[in-house]
Amino acid sequence: MALCVKGTRLTVWLCLGLAMAGCQSAPQSPKARTITISADITLHPLAEGVWVHTTWFDLPDYGRCPANGLLVVDGPEALLIDLPWTNELTATLCDWITRNLKATVQTVIPTHFHQDCMGGLAEAQRRGALSYASDKTIALAWQKGLPVPQVPCRSQTLIRCGTTLVLVTHPGAGHTTDNVIAWLPVQKILFGGCLIKSMDSASLGNTQDGDPAAYPATLRKVQAAYPEARIVVPGHGRWGGPGLIGHTLGLCSERASNPGE
């Protein structure tokens, strides 16, 4: 279930949702044990019912490249924030979730239109998952002949997986013009996607479809909106704390000082 709302109305709905979730404190992280599903798919637990899914794909000129997403499971319902690179990887992940977690992927949220977020969208939709994305992502998917997400969101969108809340927002352009982020308020987990870089990233990477000039302001909005974030997950590489946002801001400054690099 999702609701696109703005301003104070969103605050009211978020508070109601937290109350319906039981007014509980953030769940404790389970023992951090990486689960290997295949040679190209791993899961790493972040909190009760929340995992990072990492999938690998061979990119021309780059070689084997990992990409992160989130898996949320609440009872028989599962939700994916970003999809694996391909339909085949997505099928493998969804089958594993059904067999081992006794849940079905009912909702998917690609955070922008690139393959590392949306490559498995057709398979997820074939299986009956409902897909949400920025209206900008949907427009780009149409233009580029890609599988098209079904439900457009223009501001902030509150989505439920069982009683688990996921708030999706478009803070502004950065890595791409359509990039969104996802916030789990109870768990205090922020999925920044490719807008946020891991601590071992030495550059902003590919911003061909983004807006380097707007990037710093977008990051500052994220920094101001989620000061209580406990875990920040980037689109690639190791996750960490809010320092990843500051690190990405530093990379923006380096890019501005050396625009030719």
Residue 17 lies in a domain: no
Pairing of strands 231-234, 156-161: unpaired
Report the Cα 4 to chain-centroid distance in Å: 17
Catalytic residues: 112, 114, 116, 175, 194, 197, 206, 236
* pLDDT tens digits along 18-32: 444 433 333 334 456
pLDDT at 11 over 80: no
pLDDT at 7 over 80: no
pLDDT at 83 over 90: yes
Residue 53 lies in a domain: yes
Type of residue at 221? K
pTM, full prediction: 0.88
pLDDT at 245 over 80: yes
Q: What gap in Å lies between CA 201 and CA 191, rounded to an integer?
A: 17
Residue 94 lies in a domain: yes
* pLDDT tens digits along 143-181: 999 999 999 987 899 999 999 999 999 999 999 999 999
Pairing of strands 50-59, 156-161: unpaired
Residue 13 lies in a domain: no
Please list the residues that pair with 58 across neighbouring strands.
64
Residue 158 lies in a domain: yes
Q: How many domains does the chain have?
A: 1
Residue 40 lies in a domain: yes
Which residue segment(s) compose the domain that 105 sits in?
Answer: 32-257
Token pair recorded at residue 85: 């690179």
- Answer for the pair 137, 112: CB distance below 8 angstroms, yes or no: yes
pLDDT score at 207: 95
- Answer for the pair 177, 211: CB distance below 8 angstroms, yes or no: yes
Residue 12 lies in a domain: no
Residue 186's CATH number:
3.60.15.10
Q: Quote the percentage of the chain above a pLDDT of 90.
A: 81
Task: Single out the residue of 145, 140, 146, 147 nearest to residue 180, CA to CA.
Answer: 140
Task: Single out the residue of 32, 3, 36 nearest to residue 17, CA to CA.
Answer: 3
pLDDT score at 14: 47
